[in-house]
Amino acid sequence: MSAQGSGLEILSIAPTATIQDRGRVGLLRYGVTSSGAMDDHALAEGQALLGNGRDDAALEFAGAGGRFRAHGTLWLACSGAEMALRVNGTPQRWRQSFRLDGGDIVEIGAVHEGVYGYLHVKGGFQTEMVLGSRSTHQRAGLGHRPAAGQLLPVLPQPADMTPLGLPRSDHFDRRELRLLWGPQSDVFPRAERARLLTAEITVSPRRDRMGMRIELDSGPIHAERGLTIASDAINPGDIQVAGDGTPTVLLADRGSSGGYARIATLASADMAALAQIPAGGVFRFRLVSRDQAVEALARHRRALDSLASKATPVTRDPRDMDDLLSYNLISGVTDGDDLDLD
Amino acid sequence: MGVLVEFGDRYHPSINAAVLAFDAAFEGRRPAAVIETVPTFRSFLIRFDPLALPFDTLHQLLAEMLESRNWYDSGPPERRRKWVIPAVYGGIRGPDLAEVADLMGLREDQVIDGHAATSFTVAMLGFSPGLAYLGQLPEIWDFPRRTTLNPEVPAGAVLVAVRQTVLPSTPIPTGWRQIARTPFRSFNPRSDTPFLLQPGDQLRFEPVDEAAYAAYSAYDMDALLHEEGA
């Protein structure tokens, strides 16, 4: 089949689905926030599994995925929040690259753990590039909006590749997230700021790619000098406090500027961990210094960079194996019992 | 990581002029590890990669620049452009005109005349792509935003509150009141120049009728550029 006719046909898709890459950076001064994958670690996992470039685009889903049909041979991989994955009805490992032939059906069901899952294709989905990125920005009307019936274009696919697998990332377990004070922190009384650091915090169901409302077990936050200030630019991870005292962590699709005072900012290194905490999930903040936040970012980047070297072959064709019996067929990335997805 | 340089805590023409002058000066000395910068009404945000540019190095540059001169006596930006933007006031194009007239204790035609007689400065872009905050209307326009949110006003809505005019280029939810609508779009994602208005640009509105509105809708937006230079 020619490359022109190949691609991934969307048979059905969750309404939360978007196309995401690393985002549309550099346009904040024009009112355009970056978008980009909510979980940058998961995006990097997919690139590592398929040998993709850092800026290749994937499908992102929250909560559930969809059903898709291959047109021509495709090399795919799933990453991020683990969802029920089946190929032609047979359960398939998450975080592993695999091949589809023309007509094969891949189905991504309900999420098991976390929030945001990703479906990657070798070379990335070739949807429309707008202002330097393929990321969908729903609110701003930028980028491709995936919908049933579409054929998502892909680059010509290799006939053969070595399927790779990655272990589960521990950022799904993180329940202590690093926090820095910001320029407007002193709008809030000391006792209120302290409460942000001591409270048990629950993620509200009112969350999306723009922001996550969070609730302190000790109640809403109060400000001394009023909650509105003259608008200025908002960084990703800024935590604004609206009139009712509910804090919201502002994320990839936020408005670029706002007039609600911001009590603190989440460390960049912990954005992916926060994004993967489901509604009702509980966590705490820990105050760090600027140096500690920078060190955490350095570690986070090293972890992303090391994914390519951590991805290991998951299957071998027995015909290629001279000494099959010398392989340990049980150990490796498959635990043996984790294929029972349902 | 971001650093915010605050020139004031409110909108004021001299504070905004300081921000825009600082923005222009910083552009000339911008370290490579700066990801992007954002001038606003009253502040200047610098987003940078702290692994490639130590915070202390950037802080030192900013402190040196801040001390180098009095930024508050900056005039308008050198490169500003002047725009005349057609707008249909009232009716379906400005559904909140009557309410605004009530708030101001004026007749609708007086509101239109006052708005169209004002020379605006683009104070900042923000909130949504290409949305321009325009300063500044006379004191009598100092009424608050609504407490309830209108779930959507269209692109090109001319919105007013707190002595300011807001001009969105995409549909947005808002608490501001819509007195007019323009065919002008500051943001055109498929254009070679996707963002037309720049902070510091000057702008005034020209009341037009429906026929002129329809004619302008087919225009190249650049045709609305009135005059280059200050």
Instruction: Give the tens place of pLDDT for each residue, A77-129.
Output: 999 999 999 999 999 999 999 999 999 999 999 999 999 999 999 999 999 99
- A262 contacts in B (CB within 8 Å)? none
CATH no. for residue A280?
A: 2.40.100.10
> What residue of A is the nearest CA neighbor of B147?
A243
Backbone angles phi, psi at B228, to 5 degrees: -80, 155
Write out the residues of chain A at the interface with chain B, using a CB-CB cutoff of 8 A: 25-32, 130-131, 139-142, 182-183, 229-233, 235, 255-258, 265, 268, 290, 293-294, 297-298, 301
Instruction: Please indicate, yes or no, whether residues A113 and A254 belong to a single structural domain of this protein.
Output: no
CA angle A144, A145, A150 (to 5 degrees): 95
Residue of A25, A230, A298 with shortest CB distance to B42: A230
The CATH code for residues B82-226 is 2.40.100.10
Instruction: Please indicate, yes or no, whether residues A41 and A133 belong to a single structural domain of this protein.
Output: yes
For residue A132, give how far its alpha carbon lies from the nearest alpha carbon of chain B (Å): 11
DSSP A270: G
Residue B105 CB neighbours (<10 A): 8
Instruction: Please indicate, yes or no, whether residues A213 and A289 belong to a single structural domain of this protein.
Output: yes
User: Taking residues A44-72, what's their average pLDDT?
Assistant: 97
Q: What architecture does CATH give domain B2-73?
A: 2-Layer Sandwich (3.30)
Q: Quick check: is A1 in a domain? A: no
User: Taking residues B38-52, what's their average pLDDT?
Assistant: 95
For residue A234, give how far its alpha carbon lies from the nearest alpha carbon of chain B (Å): 9
Query: Which residue range(s) make up the domain with A38?
Result: 7-166
Give the whole-angstrom CA distance, residue A23 versus residue A57: 9
Q: B174: which strand partners?
A: B150
CA dihedral B161, B167, B172, B174 (to 10 degrees): 0
Amino acid occupying residue A129: M
- Structural domains counted in chain A: 2
Give the whole-angstrom CA distance, residue B108 versus residue B94: 11
Helices A40-50 and A290-305 meet at what angle, rounded to 10? Answer: 20
Instruction: Please indicate, yes or no, whether residues A144 and A249 belong to a single structural domain of this protein.
Output: no
- Taking alpha carbons only, the member of A306, A223, A226 closest to residue A264 is A223
- A141 contacts in B (CB within 8 Å)? 170-171
Write down the pLDDT at residue A227.
Answer: 64
Q: Quick check: is A37 in a domain? A: yes
For the ranges A165-179, B68-82, B207-221, the lowest mean pLDDT is seen at B207-221
**DSSP characters for B18-37?**
HHHHHHHHHHHH--TTEEEE
Instruction: Please indicate, yes or no, whether residues A236 and A136 belong to a single structural domain of this protein.
Output: no
Token digits for B95?
């559904």
Q: Quick check: is A338 in a domain? A: no
Write down the pLDDT at residue B196.
Answer: 93
User: Of A166, A195, A221, which one is at a domain's C-terminal end?
Assistant: A166
Burial class (CB in 10 A: 0-12, 13-18, 19+), A71: buried
User: Taking residues B155-164, what's their average pLDDT?
Assistant: 94
Amino acid occupying residue A196: L
* Contact between B125 and A26 using a beta-carbon 8 Å cutoff: no
User: Of A128, A148, A166, which one is at a domain's C-terminal end?
Assistant: A166
Q: Quick check: is A263 in a domain? A: yes
The interface predicted TM-score of the complex, written ipTM, equals 0.91
Question: Residue A259 pLDDT > 90, yes or no?
Answer: no
Position B224 confidence tier, pLDDT thresholds 50, 70, 90: low
- Taking alpha carbons only, the member of B84, B80, B152 closest to residue B123 is B80
Residue B92 CB neighbours (<10 A): 8
Instruction: Please indicate, yes or no, whether residues A53 and A155 belong to a single structural domain of this protein.
Output: yes
Question: How much of chain A, in percent, has pLDDT values that exceed 90?
Answer: 81
User: Taking residues A34-50, what's their average pLDDT?
Assistant: 98
Give the whole-angstrom CA distance, residue A37 versus residue A88: 28
Write down the pLDDT at residue B11.
Answer: 87
Instruction: Please indicate, yes or no, whether residues A256 and A185 belong to a single structural domain of this protein.
Output: yes
Write down the pLDDT at residue B164.
Answer: 93
To test the contact with chain A by mutation, choose from B124, B163, B196 the residue with the greatest count of A C-beta atoms within 10 A, namely: B124
Write down the pLDDT at residue B227.
Answer: 54
Question: Residue A323 pLDDT > 80, yes or no?
Answer: no
Write down the pLDDT at residue B220.
Answer: 61
DSSP B163: T
Question: Residue B28 pLDDT > 60, yes or no?
Answer: yes
For residue B131, give how far its alpha carbon lies from the nearest alpha carbon of chain A (Å): 7
Are B159 and B178 in contact by the 8 Å Cβ rule? The answer is yes
Token digits for B226?
């009135």
Question: Residue A318 pLDDT > 70, yes or no?
Answer: no
Give the whole-angstrom CA distance, residue A39 versus residue A34: 14
Coil, strand or helix: which one is B137?
coil
Give the whole-angstrom CA distance, residue A282 versus residue A267: 18
Where in chain B do CATH 3.30.1360.40 domains reside?
2-73
Question: Residue B26 pLDDT > 90, yes or no?
Answer: yes
Position B226 confidence tier, pLDDT thresholds 50, 70, 90: low
Question: Residue A226 pLDDT > 70, yes or no?
Answer: no
Q: Quick check: is A120 in a domain? A: yes
Coil, strand or helix: which one is A310?
helix
Where in chain B do CATH 2.40.100.10 domains reside?
82-226
Write down the pLDDT at residue A327.
Answer: 44
Write down the pLDDT at residue A219.
Answer: 95
Position B229 confidence tier, pLDDT thresholds 50, 70, 90: very low
Write down the pLDDT at residue A316.
Answer: 55
- Please state the pTM of the whole predicted model: 0.89
User: Taking residues B147-167, what's their average pLDDT?
Assistant: 93
* Contact between B129 and A232 using a beta-carbon 8 Å cutoff: no
Question: Residue B6 pLDDT > 50, yes or no?
Answer: yes
In this predicted model, which residue has the larger pLDDT, A342 or A97?
A: A97
Question: Residue A329 pLDDT > 80, yes or no?
Answer: no
Position A334 confidence tier, pLDDT thresholds 50, 70, 90: very low
> What residue of B is the nearest CA neighbor of A294?
B50
Residue A109 CB neighbours (<10 A): 15
For residue B11, give how far its alpha carbon lies from the nearest alpha carbon of chain A (Å): 7
Write out the residues of chain B at the interface with chain A, using a CB-CB cutoff of 8 A: 1-2, 4, 6, 8-11, 35-43, 45, 47, 50-51, 55, 124-131, 133, 170-171, 187, 189-190, 194-195, 199
Question: Residue A331 pLDDT > 50, yes or no?
Answer: no
User: Of A104, A138, A166, which one is at a domain's C-terminal end?
Assistant: A166
Give the whole-angstrom CA distance, residue B110 versus residue B28: 45
Q: In the predicted model, what is the mean pLDDT of chain B?
A: 91
Instruction: Please indicate, yes or no, whether residues A31 and A135 belong to a single structural domain of this protein.
Output: yes
Write down the pLDDT at residue A106.
Answer: 98
Question: Residue B154 pLDDT > 80, yes or no?
Answer: yes
- Taking alpha carbons only, the member of A291, A89, A340 closest to residue B54 is A291
Amino acid occupying residue A320: D
Token digits for A93?
């490992």
Pairing type for strands B164-167 and B157-161 reads antiparallel
Q: Quick check: is A308 in a domain? A: no
